[in-house]
Amino acid sequence: MPEHAATVTELDQKERAALNFFREYEEDVQHILRNPRLLADTEESGCFEVFIGHLDHALATSALSREGLLFHGMNRDIAHNFLFMLDVKETGGEGGVFTGLIPHLIRDPGYTLFSPDPDVVLRKLPGVEQETRVIVAYMSHPDDPAVVLDEQVLYPRNATWVTTGATTVRWDGTPVVIIGIEMAGSGEA
Amino acid sequence: MEERLIWRKQDIALRRAPFILSDEMRQRAEQILPRAADAVRKAGSRV
């Protein structure tokens, strides 16, 4: 169990079932949330909305017990454009902390999942050898509406994150740019 | 399962923020990013 142990004892049976369903079908659920037209005007849309309602309520009634660093990765199909937008240089070495960047907003219509272990994220990021990897780092707040799920931390859907700064480091010889983020908002669409 | 920890281009929308960072956010980033860098560096040394 990560150090961000969440308070989940208040969840009712439907909310626990919704979390279990999300655990099993996360990829499909996220795909629908990010492409809502897929389910529009179908028989399943009502059931999906009920399920999402239970999941939203589970998150709204949960809270992390303390702060902790959390990480999420940027796939290579967006990472370099992301750095260009932020005007962050891929120096390839270790650098200082820059907070003079123009802040940008990252909005995810799905739920945002983080890992407290950057190694878990970096190992899954595709890229050729020595290619710069890009991850975001967030310091969770105590009382954040989030749930620990399979060693990861689940945050509400429709969250908007704001970039706050950047630093560079090496991970087993591979350059990594870390972008700091803060939650700028969340909630239903 | 860890793919859920990665944003792909089609997953998110990126845009410039219509505001500047508050001093509080900036100071928080100055505290958090070195800790994040340490965590990544340590993770790399375990590889």
Q: What is the pLDDT of residue A1?
A: 43
The minimum CA-CA distance between B39 and chain A, rounded to whole Å, is: 7
pLDDT per residue as tens, chain B (47 positions): 557 899 999 999 999 999 999 999 999 999 999 999 999 999 988 76
From the list A16, A13, A14, the residue with the least C-alpha distance to A147 is: A16
In the chain, the amino acid numbered B37 is A
Whole-prediction pTM value?
A: 0.92
Q: Nearest 5°: phi and psi at A184?
A: -105, -5
- Per-residue pLDDT at A9 exceeds 70: no
| A107–B12 CB contact, under 8 Å | yes
Cβ–Cβ < 8 Å for A90, A40: no
Pairing label, strands B13-16, A104-114? antiparallel
* Dihedral in degrees, nearest 10, Cα atoms A20, A23, A24, A30: 120
- Chain B residue numbers with beta carbons less than 8 Å from the beta carbon of A178 are 33, 36-37, 40
User: pLDDT: is B33 or A149 the higher one?
Assistant: B33
Q: pLDDT per residue over A36-45, tens digit each? A: 888 888 888 8
Question: Residue B28 is nearest to which of A105, A110, A164, comparing CB atoms?
Answer: A164
- Chain A residue numbers with beta carbons less than 8 Å from the beta carbon of B34 are 97, 167
